[in-house]
Amino acid sequence: MTTAETSRRCLDGRYQLHELIAVGGMGEVWRARDLQLHRTVAVKVLRSEFADDPVFVARFRSEARHAAGLSHPNIAAVLDYGETTAPDTGESLAYLVMELVEGSSLSARLAEEGSLDTRATLSLLRQAAAGLAEAHRAGVVHRDVKPANILLGPGDTVKLTDFGISWSAGSAPITRTGQVVGTAQYMSPEQARGEHVSPASDVYALGLVGYESLAGHAAFDGDNPVTVALKQVQETPEPLPAELPPDVRALIDAALVKDPRERPRDGDAFLSAIEETIRQPSGEPPTRSVVRAPVRRERRAEQRHRAAAKRRAAPVTRPQAATMVRRPALVVLLPLVAFLLGAGALTLGPGPGTESGNAAGAVSGPSAEAGVVLEPGDYLGRPAAEVAGELGALGLTVRQVQDPTSERPPGTVTGLEPAGTLLRPGDVVRLAVAVRPGATLPELVPVTGGGATPVGRPRPVAPAPAVPADEPAPAGTTAPAVPVDGGAGPVTDQPSAPSEGGGTTSEPTTPPEDTTGTPTTPPGDGG
């Protein structure tokens, strides 16, 4: 569905779309007019290619269900949800209707002003914690608290939004073991490990928001989401400016404790701590706003410049919708982090003043033997090489089979099995990959721990394809190699002989007579 097409539509004869507010990987947010109640609303329309995908539609419904069940002054109201068919094209449409918040997001405010003073920060933390407290009482964990999901209305009234990846304690979560969902810079350590997420995880994220608002830069930064997520687990942010009141610094520090059992347990407990800090004489804001040193302002500008270079810009105009559309690059799927940490493969080196024999600093987590459950919707439509690399990093053995009947672009995943069952390192996963009719895939051998490797007649190997700037490759992984000449052979489903050092090695095979016609793998959009 194009912007021009959408602008001419009236959804279900009720919501007339007028002005585009935001565009993201999953859809568009529009200013619209409710023709029945004669009011202006925001309408989030799922992109047509996702509206036909039951997994994406389920997530969209999940956002509507979770948010619509919450009623609080600091939570953006969800007013309606619908699924319809476009009368002119016949395509499926799913949409969410929300209140329109006249204002801007906290992320936009921070980008413009750099940082906030103590009074403003405590006020937004208090309101956001109050909204989270209501959600937690209803059994809902937000999972993606960040400045972009905190809208500031008239008088700096806070509205929490975007409960699209939230989890209800009363139902099975859409996200499952083997996926780590959220935004890396605001992700709790337990979220990065793939462990149980609780209300205390939202407290950690809100603590990171408070830290950024006061310090003028994110607590953790890195070249890619995996690096940032590892820092959430392993590192402590640099101290907040010394000129801040001690109990304000202590409030943020309490929210950023790595062990969720040692943090305020939920939004209500954090709200009480915030209100106590506000009441304390030392918690009163100084007579002037906290001004960061120029080096910090420069570093924040560098951070934002790097981040902007790694993702597609989403045009946003004011007023903003009551929810922002998440791009796939910002909804971080980090199974590699959970696997590396769960396997105990990563440890902290000895820091200053720590003897090399000290065991402190080792990262502990659940064993990789706990296994993973794969959700097909997270892999369908993505480049096969990229998916094979991710599954290999989880310790799974990957086999690919061709699918000449699919309408998806050649080289992308059209199916995955087994799905919905517990898999352990070494288990076999079969990927169906789209090919043009009559074309074949390179012969593949199963690989554990890193993608799939073509075998058969020796061919020169091209460098690994570049990863799009907005979706950096996880640190420590490489993309599977591909033949330079595009040669292809028949697909095999037979495992090769394992080497003594583990993994797999290829056995010499007789090359096929026809070695042409391998489809080019197009760049993916992240799913």
User: Annotated catalytic sites, by residue?
Assistant: 144
Angle CA 105–107–113, to nearest 5: 105
Q: Which residues pair with 401 in a beta bridge?
A: 432
Q: Are 469 and 310 in contact (CB under 8 A)?
A: yes
* Sequence-distant (≥ 6) Cβ neighbours of residue 495 within 8 angstroms: 397, 445, 446, 504
Residue indicated by tokens 């997270």? 378
Q: Are 274 and 122 in contact (CB under 8 A)?
A: yes
Helical H runs in 187-245? 189-193, 199-215, 225-234
Rounded-to-integer distance, Cα 480 and Cα 49, Å: 27
DSSP string, 261-288: GGS-SSHHHHHHHHHHHHHSGGGSPPSS
Q: Are 208 and 218 in contact (CB under 8 A)?
A: yes
Rounded-to-integer distance, Cα 331 and Cα 184, Å: 8
Structure tokens of 37?
């109640």
Residue indicated by tokens 């971080």? 332
Element (DSSP H or E) covering residue 423: strand 422-423
* Nearest one of 83, 100, 96, 87 to 24, comparing CA atoms: 96
DSSP string, 40-51: EEEEEEE-HHHH
